[in-house]
């Protein structure tokens, strides 16, 4: 038995969500994966409000965050996470298609833990997600208060 942490995926592209879930499922990397499809929904989840008001008040082990999101963009989500005492210790990995230096600089200035450009090739994408999931949800020791469950 190993301890696996919850992964919060913040992604609006259904194909990328499906590929990410496929990669995680194939490698059995997470007990629970939560998907939010825009920045507002991600913040609602993290703050236990709206449709997430009754969820357990535990932080995810890691957040996989896209930058180009509807309603609230990824940079704003990251800024709000890092400015909130309860959330700021959650590891955040930007998983984006943006190669733009300004996006990379902005995320690192806001305190992102890693910046990963989504590979175009299916197998490379699956391997990248597998490695991210393996490291952040299993190997990395998350901050206290993160959800950790035994499978």
Long-range contacts of 118-123 (CB under 8 A, 24+ apart): 118/16, 122/19
User: Where residue 21 falls among pLDDT bands split at 50, 70, 90?
Assistant: confident
Q: Where are the domains of the chain?
A: 3-136
Q: What percent of the chain has pLDDT over 90?
A: 51
Q: Is the pLDDT of residue 76 over 90?
A: yes
Looking at the structure, give the CATH architecture of the domain made up of residues 3-136: 3-Layer(aba) Sandwich (3.40)
The stretch 132-146 carries a mean pLDDT of 67
pTM above 0.75, yes or no: yes
Whether the CB-CB separation of 64 and 20 falls below 8 Å is answered with: yes
Q: Is the pLDDT of residue 110 over 60?
A: yes
Q: Is the pLDDT of residue 73 over 80?
A: yes
């Amino acid at each position: 038995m190993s301890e696996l942490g919850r992964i919060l995926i913040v992604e609006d592209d259904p194909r990328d969500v499906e590929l990410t879930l496929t990669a995680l499922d194939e490698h059995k990397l997470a007990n629970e994966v939560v998907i939010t499809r825009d920045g507002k929904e991600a913040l609602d989840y993290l703050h236990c409000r709206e449709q997430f008001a009754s969820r357990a008040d535990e932080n995810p082990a890691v957040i996989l965050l896209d930058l180009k999101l509807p309603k609230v963009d990824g940079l704003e989500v990251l800024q709000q996470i890092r400015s909130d005492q309860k959330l700021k210790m959650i590891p955040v990995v930007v998983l984006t298609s943006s190669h733009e230096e300004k996006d990379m600089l902005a995320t690192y200035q806001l305190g992102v833990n890693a910046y990963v450009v989504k590979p175009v090739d299916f197998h490379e994408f699956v391997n990248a997600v597998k490695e991210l999931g393996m490291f952040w949800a299993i190997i990395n020791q998350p901050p206290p208060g993160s959800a950790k469950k035994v499978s």
